[in-house]
């Protein structure tokens, strides 16, 4: 017998954090039998290293590294084969979950039958130990239709002092921690073309077009860490996102957006590599065959 919520956690070579993720999920009421870890580390000792830090009742699924979306899709198929879940949580291997956050996300669905995906306030810790907001959900820029986080890099107190409550509608949510109505992840698979970066934006745009609400739950809070986006995938995937969502004329904005992100890296590293990677990514995005 399955619980109300199942959890698919994508793991890639982060053995020192995955145990805490599992512990947090169990503290939030997710049974061990309802947690599935999808490992795409492609390392010989992955199973032993994972078994050293997680309970034996938790299922491990080992897959080839074909990207984040492919790992989620395979995990969803595997966990749904066990039985019925009302909700499915998709999370990455390094999140830390504040008490009551999963319950808060579930309540968003109970309050709105149209809710398709709900996510928390995502926080991150800077190199000097300060907390800052990573995302309170996402939007698309007015002209270029490029994805941007709400409140990115804001001080947490600035966001929390607004005292927003309930559910705030968003266009998309950061994929580090999202609760979905389970049946939707059968009807709407993640497009595996992206490999990494903005695959959740594409999914949430498709959900929204089909009439399913996307919501940020301010009271739910989750910490995550992010190493940023490789410049190749920034250029490539922004082009793919626009192509897949009927925005081909706006591809002309991508070089300006992507190069604006790459130039500071080039200056800091004293290398043209980030700029070349962006250009290569844009070129690939323009020529790749689209998988729908």
Answer yes or no: is pLDDT of 291 > 80.
no
Q: Return the ∠ at Cα 28 (arms to 25 and 29), rounded to 5°.
A: 95
What is this structure's pTM? 0.95
Alpha carbon distance, N-terminus to C-terminus of the chain = 34
Instruction: At 94, list the tokens.
Output: 């390094």
pLDDT-derived band of residue 43, with 50, 70 and 90 as boundaries?
very high
User: What is the share, in percent, of the chain residues with pLDDT greater than 70?
Assistant: 99
Same domain for 131 and 246: no
In b/e form, how buried is each residue of 244-267, taking b as 16+ CB within 10 angstroms? Answer: bbeeeebbebbbebbbeebeebbe
At residue 165, the pLDDT reads 86
> Domain boundary at 223, 251, 277, which?
223
Instruction: At 50, list the tokens.
Output: 């994972």
Same domain for 277 and 255: yes
Answer yes or no: is pLDDT of 162 > 70.
yes
Residue 32 main-chain phi, psi, to 5 deg: -55, -40
| Domain of 148, in residue numbers | 5-223
Note the Cα 267 to chain centre separation in Å: 29
Same domain for 178 and 263: no
Same domain for 182 and 113: yes
Same domain for 123 and 258: no
- Cβ contacts of residue 167 below 8 Å, gap of 6+? 108, 111, 112, 115, 118, 215, 216, 217
Same domain for 123 and 91: yes
Same domain for 105 and 182: yes
Q: Read off the pLDDT of each residue in 145-167 and give the average, rounded to a whole number.
A: 94
d(CA 221, CA 104): 10
CATH of the domain at 145: 3.90.550.10
CB 230, CB 176: distance < 8 Å: no
d(CA 280, CA 276): 6
Q: What is the pLDDT of residues 232-290, one digit of tens each?
A: 999 999 999 999 999 989 999 999 999 999 999 899 989 999 999 999 999 999 999 88
> Domain boundary at 223, 258, 274, which?
223
Strands (DSSP E) contained in 64-108 are: 87-92, 96-97
Same domain for 159 and 214: yes
d(CA 175, CA 166): 20
CB 39, CB 77: distance < 8 Å: no
In total, how many domains does the chain have? 2
At residue 1, the pLDDT reads 64
Answer yes or no: is pLDDT of 48 > 70.
yes
- Cβ contacts of residue 191 below 8 Å, gap of 6+? 69, 199, 202, 203, 244, 291, 292
Same domain for 37 and 17: yes
């Amino acid at each position: 017998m399955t619980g109300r919520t199942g959890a698919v956690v994508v793991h890639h070579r982060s053995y020192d954090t995955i145990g805490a993720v599992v512990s947090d999920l169990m503290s939030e009421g997710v049974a061990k039998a309802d947690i599935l870890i999808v490992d795409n580390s492609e390392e010989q000792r992955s199973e032993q290293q994972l078994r050293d830090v997680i309970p034996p009742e938790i299922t491990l699924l080992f897959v080839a590294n074909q990207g984040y979306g492919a790992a989620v899709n395979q995990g969803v198929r595997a966990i749904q084969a066990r039985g019925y879940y009302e909700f499915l949580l998709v999370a990455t291997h390094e999140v830390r979950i504040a008490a009551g956050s999963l319950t808060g996300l579930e309540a968003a669905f109970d309050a709105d039958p149209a809710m398709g995906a709900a996510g928390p306030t995502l926080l991150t810790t800077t190199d000097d130990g300060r907390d800052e907001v990573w995302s309170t959900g996402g939007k698309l820029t007015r002209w270029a239709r490029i994805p941007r986080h709400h409140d990115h890099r804001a001080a947490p107190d600035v966001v929390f002092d607004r005292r927003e409550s309930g559910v705030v509608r968003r266009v998309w949510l950061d994929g580090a921690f999202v609760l979905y109505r389970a049946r939707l992840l059968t009807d709407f698979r993640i497009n595996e073309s992206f490999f990494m970066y903005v695959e959740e934006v594409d999914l949430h745009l498709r959900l929204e077009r089909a009439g399913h609400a996307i919501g940020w739950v301010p009271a739910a809070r989750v910490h995550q860490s992010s190493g940023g986006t490789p410049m190749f995938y920034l250029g490539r995937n922004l082009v793919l996102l626009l192509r897949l969502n009927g925005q081909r004329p706006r591809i002309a904005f991508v070089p300006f957006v992507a190069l604006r992100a790459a130039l500071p890296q080039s200056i800091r590293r004293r290398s043209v590599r980030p700029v070349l990677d962006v250009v290569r990514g844009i070129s690939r995005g323009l020529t790749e065959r689209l998988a729908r």
